């Protein structure tokens, strides 16, 4: 029986990853961990712990005989720029704790998402390759580059099986995103389905790589289960599903909700978005472990609107 621990389990990705992992491996096999208290109706194994507290992680790994960790607890890009110290402590020291506890208990596998934030403004913007100079200018990006390097180091130096993907912006309907630069994409859907106008915080021509949540979950689990001998990279696989501008997303939503009104008033997050790639080369993930997304802009938009209509207007 697998014994999986997911840190940051109440976040945008964790809340949906947990459901899939429990479906796949059984409810008793998946422990959710976060430093926030869950809603009263939260179902399933849950423990409160701060990833900055190594002893707390150690106790949980011992208590539940954990063999696999999906380490999602992090401070994201926009929030990280407003509190860089917190981003450093959470993203770098938190990961260091997870790696050290993983090493001590000889855990089978650790999955750590990285991000397109590892790329700095000098990286090629189109079809950005895996291997390129990484010179991010945000604390979030710096913590993500460090995370990739640390994960690679623990694999090569100690044989700890650490793996990770550089995720693009993730769009989902279940849990609101936690302070990233691509949050506008999710907010736009919520506003449109509520029948409200939306003021987008990046320019209409801002193009970023994106992915729908079911593909994100698929990528994380598929990489976790891939044959390690096929992996050319460890913690820095590019993965992507689609690229579109904020204006194109508003147009795609208007195909389903024609009276949706969207204005574009860039704020401080425009600078972060401008430093990131417009599209990614994810051919290594496709070749090494069979990565292939299921959703494009049109199919994602339809599914998001269907799901949000049910969530926000259940009686209609
Ligand atoms: N969502 C995206 O668009 C996106 C894109 C690229 C990469 N990622 C990466 O995916 C991972 C998960 O992201 P997400 O979108 O689910 O983030 P999120 O902000 O929605 O969730 C993070 C969770 O971590 C928890 N957390 C924060 N600090 C903690 C601590 N010290 N101890 C324990 N828990 C703590 C929070 O309470 C929250 O529930 C992160 O590593 C992030 O960098 C996300």
Q: Whose CA is nearest to atom 21 of ligand 1?
A: 11
Looking at the fold, whether 179 and 277 belong to one and the same domain comes out as: yes
Query: How many distinct structural domains can be found in the chain?
Result: 2
Our answer to whether residue 140 is catalytic in this structure is yes
Pocket-testing residue among 73, 164, 171, ligand 1, by greatest number of atoms within 8 A of Cβ:
73
pLDDT over 80 (residue 316)? no
Number of Cβ within 10 Å of residue 52's Cβ equals 16
Query: Which atom of ligand 1 is closest in space to residue 52's alpha carbon?
Result: 31
Q: Domain holding 120: CATH number? A: 3.40.50.720
10 lines ligand 1 (CB under 6 A): yes
Tell me the average pLDDT of the chain.
97
Q: Is 174 in the pocket of ligand 1 (CB under 6 A)?
A: no
Question: Are 38 and 153 members of one domain?
Answer: yes
| In a shared domain, residues 182 and 148 | no
Beta-carbon count within 10 A of 233 CB: 18
- Kindly tell me if the per-residue pLDDT of 205 is higher than 90: yes
Task: Using the predicted structure, report yes or no on whether residue 11 has a pLDDT greater than 90.
Answer: yes
**Of 160, 167, 22, residue with least CA distance to 98:** 160
Torsion of CA 69, 71, 72, 73, to 10 degrees: 120
Determine which helix (DSSP H) or strand (DSSP E) holds 94, and give its type and residue range: helix 94-104
Strand partners, 34: 48
Q: State the pLDDT at residue 178.
A: 87
pLDDT score of 1? 87
Range of the domain at 130: 4-168+211-238
Q: Is 94 in the pocket of ligand 1 (CB under 6 A)?
A: yes
For ligand 1, is residue 169 a contact (CB within 6 Å)? yes
Residue 234 contacts residue 193 (beta carbons within 8 Å): no
Rounded to the nearest whole angstrom, what is the distance from the C-alpha of residue 201 to the centroid of ligand 1?
21
Ligand 1 in reach of 46 Cβ (< 6 A): no
At residue 75, does pLDDT exceed 90?
A: yes
Question: What 8-state DSSP symbol labels residue 76?
Answer: -
Q: Quick one: average pLDDT of 126-150? A: 97
- Are 16 and 148 part of one and the same domain? yes
> For 190-304, where are the E strands, in sequence order?
198-200, 207-212, 237-238, 242-245, 262-264
CATH number at residue 190: 3.90.25.10
Q: Tens digit of pLDDT for each residue in 89-103?
A: 999 999 999 999 999
Domain boundary among 196, 220, 238: 238
Segment 140-186, tens digit of pLDDT: 999 999 999 999 999 999 999 999 999 999 999 999 998 999 999 99
Say if residue 114 is in the same domain as residue 177. Answer: no
Residues 40 and 110 both lie in one domain: yes
Percent of the chain whose pLDDT exceeds 70: 100
CB 74 less than 6 A from any atom of ligand 1: yes
- Residue 178 Cα to ligand 1 middle (Å): 7
Cα end-to-end distance, the chain, whole Å? 42
Is the pLDDT at 246 greater than 80? The verdict is yes
pLDDT at position 315 is: 78
Task: Report pLDDT for 314.
Answer: 82
Query: Pick the catalytic residue: 64, 140, 154, 237?
Result: 140
Point out the ligand 1 atom lying closest to the alpha carbon of residue 73. 24
Give the distance (Å) from ligand 1 centre to CA of residue 216: 13
Q: Does the Cβ of 52 fall within 6 Å of ligand 1?
A: yes
Q: Per-residue pLDDT averaged across 287-310, rounded? A: 98
Are 227 and 307 in the same domain?
no
Instruction: Give the confidence band of 84 by pLDDT, cuts at 50, 70, 90.
Output: very high
Asked if 146 and 274 sit in the same domain, the reply is: no
């Amino acid at each position: 029986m697998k014994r999986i621990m997911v840190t940051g389990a109440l976040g945008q990705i964790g809340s949906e990853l947990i459901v899939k992992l429990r479906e796949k491996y059984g409810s008793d096999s998946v422990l959710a961990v976060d430093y926030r208290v869950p809603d009263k109706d939260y179902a399933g194994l849950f423990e409160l712990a701060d990833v900055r507290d190594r002893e707390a992680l150690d106790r949980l790994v011992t208590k539940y005989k954990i063999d696999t960790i999906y380490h999602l607890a992090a401070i994201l890009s926009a929030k990280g720029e407003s509190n860089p110290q917190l981003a450093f402590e959470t993203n770098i020291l938190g990961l260091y704790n997870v790696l050290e506890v993983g090493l001590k208990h000889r855990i089978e596998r650790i999955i750590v998402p990285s991000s397109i934030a590892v790329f700095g403004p000098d990286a090629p913007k189109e079809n950005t390759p895996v291997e390129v100079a990484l010179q991010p200018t945000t604390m979030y990006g710096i913590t993500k580059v460090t995370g990739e390097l640390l994960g690679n180091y623990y694999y090569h130096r100690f044989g700890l099986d650490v793996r990770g993907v550089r995720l693009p912006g993730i769009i989902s309907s279940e849990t609101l995103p936690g302070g990233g630069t691509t949050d506008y994409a999710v907010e736009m859907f919520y506003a449109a389905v509520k029948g409200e106008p939306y003021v987008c915080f990046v320019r209409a021509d801002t193009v970023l790589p994106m992915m729908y949540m079911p593909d994100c979950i698929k990528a994380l689990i598929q990489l976790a289960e891939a044959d390690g001998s096929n992996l050319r990279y460890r913690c820095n696989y590019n993965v992507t599903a689609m690229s579109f501008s904020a204006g194109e997303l508003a147009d795609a939503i208007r195909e389903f909700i024609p009276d949706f009104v969207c204005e574009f008033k860039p704020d401080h997050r425009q600078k972060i978005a401008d430093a990131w790639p417009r599209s990614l080369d994810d051919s290594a993930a496709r070749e090494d472990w069979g990565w292939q997304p299921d959703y494009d802009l049109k199919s994602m938009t339809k599914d998001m609107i269907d799901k949000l209509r049910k969530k926000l207007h259940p009686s209609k």
